[in-house]
Amino acid sequence: MQLTVTGKQTDIGEALRRHVESSLGSILDKYFKTAIEAHVVLSKEAHLSRAEISIHIGRGIVVNAHAATSEAYVAFDAAAERLAKQLRRYKRRLRDHHAKTREPAGASERAMDYVLAPIGEEETDGGETETEGANGAPAVIAEMSTELPSLTVGEAAMRMDLAEAPVLLFRNRSHGELNLVYRRVDGNIGWIDPKLDAARSTRRTASRGIRRE
């Protein structure tokens, strides 16, 4: 596994680097030995030390973990413990996924991912504020191509949870339509499955083996 350790506004000594390598090595040997690469970023923010860990463990699977405490060692250990907890929770399913990725991959579907500028507030003649940007639309400040995976709902929820992402758009493998999973404010995971027109709904339920009364 390729490991990169980076410091931002903080010096990383050889002892801390060895501690990071040893800790991650022990965790991955226990839960997932075939990880591809790992990135660890240690930074200083005011009085806090922050540790961010990102591990690529298979096709489309990234595990992220972070923590912030008063010391760099403690911050990394807390993030590493969270990482281990995530891998422990999904250990069996990750191994099943890894076994499937040995099979030939199908065509990958791509989508565009845009970053929009914040909508500024402008005061109107009446003293009120408006939040629309120029021409009523926010400016695009970045764009990139991203994979639109074909997954089951369970696989999508797992990927989102492991990556500590707030939302994941995917194509539902059971019926081929776009679906979305997201993190709710109560900590649970929400799932949005758009209502289809009658013809498409009939084809979908037939493909899932569902009988309507």
Reported as a single tens digit per residue, the pLDDT across 75-115 is 999 999 999 999 998 888 887 765 565 545 555 688 888 88
Residues 6+ apart with CB under 8 A from 108: 147
- Are 204 and 125 contained in the same domain? no
- Are 81 and 40 contained in the same domain? yes
The answer to whether position 106 is within a domain reads no
Residue 155: CB atoms within 10 A of its CB come to 21
- Are 78 and 25 contained in the same domain? yes
Per-position b or e across 54-80, b if 16+ CB within 10 A of its CB: bbbbbebbbbbbbbbbeebeebbbbbb
Count of structural domains within the chain: 3
- Provide the mean pLDDT of the chain: 82
pLDDT for residue 179: 95
2-39 pLDDT, tens digit per residue, is 899 999 988 888 999 999 999 999 998 888 777 889 99
Q: Is the pTM of this model over 0.85?
A: no
In CATH, what number is assigned to the domain containing residue 40? 3.30.160.100
pLDDT for residue 209: 45
What are the distances in angstroms from CA 126 to CA 85, 122, 130, 139, 150? 55, 11, 11, 25, 50
In CATH, what number is assigned to the domain containing residue 185? 3.30.505.50
- Are 123 and 75 contained in the same domain? no
